[in-house]
């Protein structure tokens, strides 16, 4: 069977952000949009948490926000179906998970194939899941870091776009390591989104190739 190849679109795009918490990665993406480093606009900031600080910041920044209460939906499938509808209404080309603490249903992932990215605070495929900074310390790894990856139905396992490594230092706590990793998250997440809309991300199977700028033009 021929290998499926996806090339990200070179266009002025629309981004939907999904978050559950403080939203620092969302802010860095928005800053990059405002500074013209990402050729896109943010058409929706969505949260499953009404009081997520990131949602309040988005409102202050004049962006369209939406909260949907998961408790008002019979199950995850119905909830995710509604989010898909809302995201589609805004014409989003790319969904950026930015500390979104709900696992997406397979139907959601399939509805936006190659169009969902996530930031994870570890060097995947090591340490998927939660509390990964503490896990990295407990394992005694010398380096950890962060990963921007496409989202596939298997949690934290989609094709890797960018990674950055940081040392794990003696005496690190979950907090100190998380803070060191976050500095790198704030660099590579906007960079990955920028590459996406430059048409420079080519996905072949599990691997993502970053095309040279000049060759990045898609027809």
Confirm or reject binding of residue 158 to ligand GRF (CB under 6 A).
no
Question: Does the protein bind ligand GRF through residue 120 (CB under 6 A)?
Answer: yes
Q: Taking a C-beta distance cutoff of 8 angstroms, is the pair 44, 87 a contact?
A: yes
Q: Which of 12, 30, 120, 149 is catalytic?
A: 120
Burial 114-145 (b: 16+ CB within 10 A, else e): bbbbbbbbbbbeebeeeebbbbbbeeebeebb
Shortest Å distance, C-beta 207 to ligand GRF: 22
Closer to ligand GRF by Cβ: residue 54 or 199: 54
202 three-class SS:
strand
Q: Beta strand pairing status for 160-167 and 207-210?
A: unpaired
Residue nearest to ligand GRF (CB): 99
Which residues ranging from 68 to 107 are in contact with ligand GRF (CB under 6 A)? 98-99
Tokens of 128: 């998927």
Residue 120 a catalytic site member: yes
Number of residues that bind ligand GRF (CB under 6 A): 15
Contact between 27 and 63 under an 8 Å Cβ cutoff? The reply is no
For the chain, how many helices (H) and strands (E)?
A: 6, 10
Q: How far is CA 142 from each of CA 66, 122, 165, 166, 169, rounded to the nearest angstrom?
A: 40, 12, 10, 9, 7
Nearer CB in complex with ligand GRF: 8/25: 25
Q: Which stretch binds ligand GRF (CB under 6 A): 3-11, 14-22, 58-66, 199-207?
A: 14-22
* 17-46 footprint of ligand GRF as x/- string (CB under 6 A): --x-xxxxx---------------------
Residues that bind ligand GRF (CB under 6 A): 19, 21-25, 54, 98-99, 119-121, 146, 182, 185
Active site residues: 120
């Amino acid at each position: 069977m021929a290998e499926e190849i996806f090339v990200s679109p070179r266009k002025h795009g629309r981004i939907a952000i999904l978050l559950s918490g403080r939203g620092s990665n969302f802010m860095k993406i928005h800053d990059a949009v405002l500074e013209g480093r990402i050729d896109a606009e943010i058409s929706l900031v969505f949260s499953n948490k009404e009081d997520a600080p990131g949602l309040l910041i988005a409102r202050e920044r004049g962006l369209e926000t939406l909260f949907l209460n998961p408790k008002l939906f019979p199950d995850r499938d119905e909830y995710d179906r509604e989010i898909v509808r809302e995201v589609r209404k805004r014409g989003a080309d790319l969904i950026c998970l930015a500390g979104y603490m709900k696992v997406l249903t397979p139907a959601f992932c399939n509805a936006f194939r190659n169009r969902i990215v996530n930031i994870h605070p570890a060097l995947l495929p090591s340490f998927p899941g939660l509390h990964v900074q503490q896990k990295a310390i407990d394992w005694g790894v010398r380096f950890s870091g962060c990963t921007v990856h496409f989202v596939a139905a298997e949690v934290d396992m989609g094709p890797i776009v960018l990674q950055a490594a940081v040392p794990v230092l003696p005496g690190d706590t979950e907090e100190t390591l998380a803070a060191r990793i976050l500095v790198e998250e704030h660099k590579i997440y906007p960079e990955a989104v920028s590459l996406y809309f430059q048409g420079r991300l080519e996905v072949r199977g599990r691997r993502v190739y970053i095309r040279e700028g000049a060759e990045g033009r898609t027809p």
